[in-house]
Amino acid sequence: MISLELAEEIISRHARCTDETEIVSLDNALNRILAEDVFSDMDMPPFDKSAMDGYACRREDISQPLTIIETIAAGSEPKNTLSIGQCAKIMTGAKVPVGANCVITIEDTSLTNDGKVLFIGKNTSDNICKRGEDIISGIHILQMGLLINPQTMAVLASVGKTNVLVAKKLNIGVFCTGSELIEPDKKPSGVQIRNSNASQIVAQITSTGSVANYYGIIADNREKISQKINELLKTNHIVLITGGASVGDFDFIPEIFQQSGFTVHFQKIRIQPGKPVIYATYNKKHIFGLSGNPVSSFLQFELLVKP
């Protein structure tokens, strides 16, 4: 029996992205595996921008009335360079004009009778998002092999990556073992139970962006289970078997893995639930023998199988 941490390390040593890649649009990149390193094409933000609605000015001038020389909306270019005693009304996200080194918020100001701005706060932050403070142009921002999630998509969009190189979807074959199992659309007899494991694992696979191929239920028969595993290895990158991974009289998976010439890396891990789990490799393919208990197999997939 080994620790969960060691099991994860062993799997990581043998895991690799498929060599097959394709280009997809950013809109279709969710839950795909990034197949390239991504670098920023510009500073983010690309200019000094205001973090608040207020007045852009020189900090050294805020003790005196300030003359408003222009209004700067987000998306517009400032027309003037600020001089002593001047300010520009500015909106959140707008480019800070040359000469300004802080933005005082609307709430910290009042207007004089002649329309000048008075700072009435006790102190103020700069309230400026500096050019490149989030991302510097040319920096490595996303690592090849990353599972693309909604936040990753936002980063890709921010650097103009509208076409994304991704790994082709993994094919993951699944079947369940157990003479007591029937499919959910059947009515169980007194010694049968409906197979809930398959629906759960297929959903888990699909949520990762991989292709789930479900091959049904195989009764507790050593030859049929062995034949099915070898059949699935021809067309799938990963094979998952639920049930038969423990030490009962009809738990054939450990024996089948050994007799099939698979390299077995571990057979139990120190977690509860989920202790009986087998991981093996064969010709760069991955084979997992998961628990027949739905709670255990869920955890085993999330901790060990999920890309």
**227 three-class SS:** helix
- Whether residue 18 is predicted with pLDDT greater than 80 in this model: the reply is no
Alpha helices by DSSP H, listed for the chain, are 4-14, 150-158, 197-207, 222-233, 253-259, 294-300
Q: Where are the beta strands (DSSP E) in the chain?
A: 21-25, 38-39, 49-50, 54-57, 67-72, 86-90, 102-105, 109-111, 117-119, 128-129, 140-142, 163-167, 171-177, 181-182, 193-194, 211-218, 238-242, 263-268, 276-282, 285-290
What's residue 228's pLDDT? 95
Helix (H, G, I), strand (E, B) or coil at 205: helix
* 198-214 burial code (b ≥16 CB/10 A, e <16): bebbbebbeebbbebbb
| Helix H or strand E encompassing 193 | strand 193-194
The pairing of strands 171-177 and 38-39 is: unpaired
- Determine the Cα–Cα distance for residues 232 and 218; give it in Å rounded to an integer: 13
CATH 3.30.300.90 corresponds to the domain 4-20+169-305: no
pLDDT, one tens digit per residue, over 119-168 is 999 888 999 999 999 999 999 999 998 989 999 999 999 999 999 999 99
Long-range contacts of 293-296 (CB under 8 A, 24+ apart): 294/196, 294/197, 294/200
**Domain spans in the chain, listed from the N-terminal domain onward:** 4-20+169-305, 22-43+134-167, 49-129
The matching CATH number, chosen from 3.90.1150.10, 2.170.190.11, 3.40.30.10, 3.40.50.300, for 49-129 is 2.170.190.11
Say if residues 274 and 291 touch (Cβ distance below 8 Å).
yes
Yes or no: say if 84 and 61 are a contact pair by the CB < 8 Å rule: yes
Fold of the domain built from segment(s) 22-43+134-167: Molybdopterin biosynthesis moea protein, domain 2 (3.90.105)
For residues 249 and 116, which has the higher predicted lDDT (pLDDT)? Answer: 116
Is the confidence at residue 244, as pLDDT, over 90?
no
**Tens digit of pLDDT for each residue in 226-239?**
999 999 999 999 99
Cβ neighbours for 270, distance < 8 A, ≥ 6 positions apart: 1, 2, 3, 4
Tokens of 238: 């990963």
Tell me the pLDDT tens digit for each residue of 202-224. Answer: 999 998 889 999 999 999 888 99
pTM: 0.66
Give the containing element (helix H, strand E) for 291. Answer: none
Are the beta carbons of 252 and 244 closer than 8 angstroms?
A: yes
- pLDDT tens per residue, range 274-304: 898 999 999 999 999 999 999 999 999 999 9
225 contacts 178 by C-beta, under 8 angstroms: no
